[in-house]
Structure 1
Amino acid sequence: MISITINRSESESIQSFIISGHAFFADRGKDIVCAGASAVSVGAINAVHAITGVTPEIEQGDGFLRCVVPDKLPEDINEKVQLLLEGMIVSLQTIEEEYGEHIKITFKK
């Protein structure tokens, strides 16, 4: 199963997220759940960088992605980063609604 943990601050801002595991929905290379989660999360990180110029701290490995939003961003930039990451969450929740046996999202403060 793919486990996704979204870490939020007290003000509900997304501070970081961790995605780990494998969906095991289908054979490697044909797993649409893994492909969808990967495309959405990596696409969001790429969008954050391309649109805002912010480079989050990233750690990647086999079946693992950790992304940390830098602290103390200017408010206007942080709003854009947050909007892009909230869009990522909506997309991941859509995948979870359809394939909940293979992907689980947890929110932490």
Structure 2
Amino acid sequence: MIKVDFYYNSEFKIKGFELRGHANYEEFGYDIVCASVTSNSIAVINSLENLQKVNFEKVLANEGHILCKVADEDLEKSQLLLEHLKLALVEISREYPKNIKIFEK
């Protein structure tokens, strides 16, 4: 199962997200749940960096683990993309509830 944490600041703005694990929907290379979650997450990180020019506290992408935390000074301009990711992942989790779980912290 992919576990997704969305992190918030004290003003309830999304500060970042973290994905851990594997969907185990299908064998490696054919797992549409893992592919959609990963591609959406990496696309948002790339858009934050290249289109919005935000600074990050931390970004990493390893096998079974993606982490993205936006620097405080760029939270405002990152909200639309982070909310977009949350919406996309919530929709995926509705279709595949045994393969992805979302938490808010």
Asked if TM exceeds 0.5, the reply is yes
TM-score (norm 2): 0.93
Q: 1:7 & 1:96 partners in 2: Cα distance?
A: 18
TM-score (norm 1): 0.90
- Residue in structure 1 matched with residue 51 of structure 2 by the alignment: 51
SS of 1:52's equivalent in the other structure is coil
1:1-109 superposed matches below 5 A: 1-56=1-56, 57-73=58-74, 78-108=75-105
Q: Which runs of 4+ in 1 moved over 2 A?
A: none
Q: What is the RMSD computed on CA atoms of the aligned residues?
A: 1.1
Q: 1:85 & 1:65 partners in 2: Cα distance?
A: 14
Give the unaligned 5+ runs of structure 1: none
Aligned length: 104
- Say whether the 8 Å CA contact 2:16–2:82 is kept in structure 1: no
Give the unaligned 5+ runs of structure 2: none
Q: 2:79 & 2:31 partners in 1: Cα distance?
A: 29
SS of 2:24's equivalent in the other structure is coil
Q: Percent identity?
A: 35
Q: Could you list the per-position Cα deviations for residues 31-79 of structure 1 after superposition, in whole angstroms to 9, with x for gaps in the alignment?
A: 0000000011001111111221114221221100111101223xxxx33
